[in-house]
Chain A
Amino acid sequence: MQIGFAIFNGLTVGMSIFLVASGITLIFGMLRILNISHGSFFMIGAYLAYTIVGTEPDSVIGLAGGALAAALAMAVLGLVINVAVFRRLRDVGEAYSLIATFALLMVCNGLVKAVWGVNYHSVSAPEALAGAISYGGFFAPIYSIAIIGLGVLVFLVLEIVIHRSPVGKIVRAIAHDPWMSNLVGINTPLVYALVVMAAFFLAGLAGGLLLPNQSVTPQLFESYLLQSFMVVIIGGLGNIRGAFLGAIMLGMIEGLNFLFLPRLPGILIYVVLIGFLLWRPQGLFWQPGAQTSDQHEVMTGGVPSSFPPRATKTRIAIGVVLAAVVLSLPEWANQGLLFIVGFALAEAVLALSWNLLFGYAGLATFGHAAFFALGAYLVGFMLRDGGGVPFLVLLAASALVGAASALIVGFVALRRTSGIALGILTLSLGEILRRVINYTPELGSDDGLSGIPRPVVELGLFSVDLTSERAYFWFLAASCGLIALALWAYTLSRNGRILVTMRQDPTRAEFLGIDVRRHRLYAFVLSGAIASLTGGLYAPWAQIVTPDAASYLHSTQPMLNTLLGGSGFFWGPVVGSAIFSALGYATRTFAGLSELISGAVLILVVLAAPGGILGLGAKFGRLRRRRAPTAPDVPAMQRSAP
């Protein structure tokens, strides 16, 4: 009986997810854009419907009417988003389009917080749906039956339209080959717009109809986002049948999880997802054209230089001034600013380590925060409860743990996946870690590890007391600076040149005798080690580490920093993290505003300046230089010989 109930509940969850996942599937199937923001549009739909129907809809018609109104509004919004954003994402690389939709997610979430506030609302089901049907001791809430029915209905409609109608032939023709479809006279832009509108309509409809099923909060997007992603990946990107089966599977797995692992809710699905990605990265159903090549990615954002630059006076001066400003901060800045800068330094190094993979090795991962969290929890836990292991040993251990876990993950992941699958795989691993931490009381569960003491470093003859904020800030700033410089040197050496060679043309790299897989793994390990070490440095600074450190939201921070600053420049991530931190600091008192602005800035960067801020600067620099008489260009690399 319990099993029956679990299955029924699972189905309800699965069908709810399917309503969102079907929209993601439609958009990916046609436009090859994995719309990360879809969960947020679902949330906006829910808020709109909530605004219309209030907390106690009096009838089924009222609820349905509200949902329909929300759905129509979302369809219009979809049209706008399609013109303003999606249409422009055709010419940018896969990773960039993922990041742009993530930026949309930030804008949506910021908007929701700004318009509706951060409070929690709940909507009750209208009376007609509130009861339950019982049959031989088995209870099924009518509302759940209605959701399951709706899910099946939506599936049937989509199935018939896509696979069994003349319209479907055209739609699938575009999915197979948009270029040729255009040449046979099909108005593909129109079809794209209609598909996006349909997907958004479904998101709005689901948002409205599922109102009684959950509380309406600005976090609503999250569960639907991740779960519908899983459904889409398991089913095979862009395949509606796959998404339907995937949704049912997800529901069943959640049910099993509830039965057998009640202490770790939601973790089984990640395990299954990872198994899936490694076993069948293309999902249950293969969708033609779903695997996108990494060739296109190559030049978006530019390739960072891997040859040592000339040490001009200006460059040295900039470095010295920046170092002086940062190191003198404790003397003049207030505590709030000091904290933000320390935080920004750690984020900057984390972003540098991510860009080693993205900008240099050409690998986009979405779970980088997991390494950071590993280091942070290791050092934080040991400082608090570990009984006197020297701090420097802890830092070394955090780097080693990061390297070792990156070695294991990279060895398996890089062998089996690339592109989107690699992104989702790393994202899932990060979420698993977050959940494990979340349900481990020894690590403080949800509340995190608080009261982490700052250490005193014993160096034999003398000791350095880092317990004061000033002292630890200096230590943190110096460490981050050293790590960044060491990494810079690495990228300017023969190893860096191997990385940019692989990124620009893996095949050419192979035919230069570079074992691409092995060198990608090296980069992965180095990047993981640095991320983890940064976490270790960060823990005593913040004195608290929460499971959010491992969340996918945190994983996206290095990406945002990198793209904003410019992935084609070593120092791009640092610039980006400075700007994002400043933005966050300036807008800290307005709920949602920082997300809104950050998201909007990011979309602009991706659409208008894929080289980031430094890329823009370089462009203007080139223009100026072109006008000025050109100085004879001595090859920079010829000056120094080892």
Chain B
Amino acid sequence: MLEIQGLDAFYGASHVLQNLSFTVPAAGRVSVLGRNGAGKSTLMKSIMNAGPRVRGRLALDGRDLARIPSFRRARLGLSLVPEDRRIFPHITVVDNMTISAAAAGERVALQPERLLSMFPMLQPLRARYGSQLSGGQQQMLAVARGIAPNPKFLLLDEPTEGLAPVIVDQLATAIVQLCDMLGTGLLLSEQNIWFARRCTSRVHILESGRLVFEGSWPEFDSDPDIKQRYLSV
């Protein structure tokens, strides 16, 4: 279970997240929707202690995460796939999958062969260097690298950004399958509602750093005003 209570996050003097509270149950799947600049990425980074200055309580399975550095959080079972993917360019696809083994901690990391079978698109590219991949391939690899240490929660930050619709479809399939199979919890920040709906069961909406909606997809759909007001795509 991932608990967030009264979370504030700051970049310099600007107060990006304001008093955020919610929980993601074990193996739960939650989307965080919101416009550019609403604070979605800041939320993801705050959970990992990877950038913003944070105040408030964060706990994983009851364990308080305060002041724990990001590499330890990774080992405890949180895995962030950042917005800009950050594939290591100097090593191969397979090495990118194994480098995150350090984050497995006491869990059993997934072997590259198994990951490659989940992401068939990467199969023929296994010996390529990270720098030689296209955007879609990088995103697939970033997700594979993120899931490789078999985390308790996978944090995906806008994975569909800039991807062709076909790839988005493949990505959704892979993510759903993986989470089902491994029992991984998912916190997904998105602007693509269709994708978020495929991958998650609940939806949260961020607006200017505040949580303005929390509910299931049917609840979300029952109020068309929400979409208009906060997302207006």
Contact = CB atoms under 8 A, between A and B. Distances in A.
Decide if A and B touch, CB cutoff 8 A: yes
Contacts of A169: 90-91, 95, 99
Interface in A179-210: 179-189
B86 A177 contact: yes
Interface string B92-108: 00010001111111000
B198 to A, nearest CB: 25
A161 to B, nearest CB: 15
Given A170-B99, A180-B82, A185 B89 contact: no
Interface in A150-183: 169-170, 172-173, 176-177, 179-183
Given A169-B95, A169-B99, A183 B80 contact: yes
B149 A185 contact: yes
B115 to A, nearest CB: 14
A184 B145 contact: yes
A185 B149 CA distance: 9
Interface stretch (B29-37, B68-76, B202-210): B68-76
B48 interface: yes
Contact of B102 (A172, A185, A288): A185
A176 B48 CA distance: 20
B82 A173 contact: no
Contacts of B70: 182-183
Contacts of B149: 184-185
A188 B49 CA distance: 14
Nearest to A184: B100
A173 B50 contact: no
B230 interface: no
Contacts of A177: 86, 88
B74 A182 contact: yes
A187 B103 CA distance: 10
A176 B99 CA distance: 13
Interface residues of B, number: 26
A170 B75 CA distance: 16
A323 B3 CA distance: 64
A185 B86 contact: no
A189 B149 CA distance: 21
B71 A173 contact: no
Interface in B12-50: 48, 50
Q: Is the interface of A mostly helix, strand, loop or mixed?
A: helix
A182 B80 CA distance: 11
Contacts of B100: 184-185
A177 B75 CA distance: 18
A511 B143 CA distance: 40
Nearest to A163: B90
A82 to B, nearest CB: 16
Contact of A189 (B50, B69, B101, B105): B69
A176 B74 contact: no
Interface string B49-69: 011000000000000000001
Interface string A364-384: 000000000000000000000
A569 B95 CA distance: 50
Contacts of B50: 179, 182-183
Contacts of A188: 71
B232 to A, nearest CB: 30
Interface string A325-362: 00000000000000000000000000000000000000
Contact of B90 (A173, A179, A182, A186): A173
A234 to B, nearest CB: 22
A176 B88 contact: yes
A185 B71 contact: yes
Contacts of B71: 181-183, 185-188
B124 to A, nearest CB: 22
Nearest to B48: A183
B74 to A, nearest CB: 4
Contacts of A288: 89-90
Contacts of B101: 185
A181 B50 CA distance: 11
A289 to B, nearest CB: 11
Nearest to A170: B99
A181 B70 CA distance: 10
A187 B101 CA distance: 12
Contacts of B145: 184
B99 A184 contact: yes
A176 B89 contact: yes
A489 to B, nearest CB: 32
A186 B89 contact: no
Nearest to B71: A182
Which of A172, A184, A187, A188 is the most central at the interface, judged by chain B CB atoms within 10 Å of its CB? A184
Contacts of A189: 69
A186 B88 CA distance: 13
A183 B82 contact: yes
Nearest to B148: A184
Contacts of A185: 71, 74-75, 100-105, 149
A544 to B, nearest CB: 50
A188 B71 CA distance: 8
Highest count of chain B CB atoms <10 Å: which of A173, A183, A186, A188: A183
B91 A180 contact: no
A179 B45 CA distance: 11
Contacts of B103: 183-185
B99 A173 contact: yes
A189 B71 CA distance: 10
A182 B69 contact: yes
A188 B50 CA distance: 13
A172 B90 contact: yes
Contacts of A182: 50, 69-71, 74
A177 B51 CA distance: 14
24 contacts: A169-B90, A169-B95, A176-B89, A176-B90, A179-B86, A182-B50, A182-B70, A182-B74, A183-B48, A183-B74, A183-B79, A183-B82, A183-B103, A184-B103, A184-B149, A185-B74, A185-B75, A185-B100, A185-B102, A185-B103, A185-B104, A187-B71, A187-B102, A189-B69
Smallest CB-CB A-B distances: 5 pairs: A185-B103, A184-B100, A185-B102, A185-B74, A180-B86
Given A184-B145, A185-B74, 4 more contacts: A182-B50, A185-B100, A186-B71, A188-B71
Interface of A: 169-170, 172-173, 176-177, 179-189, 288
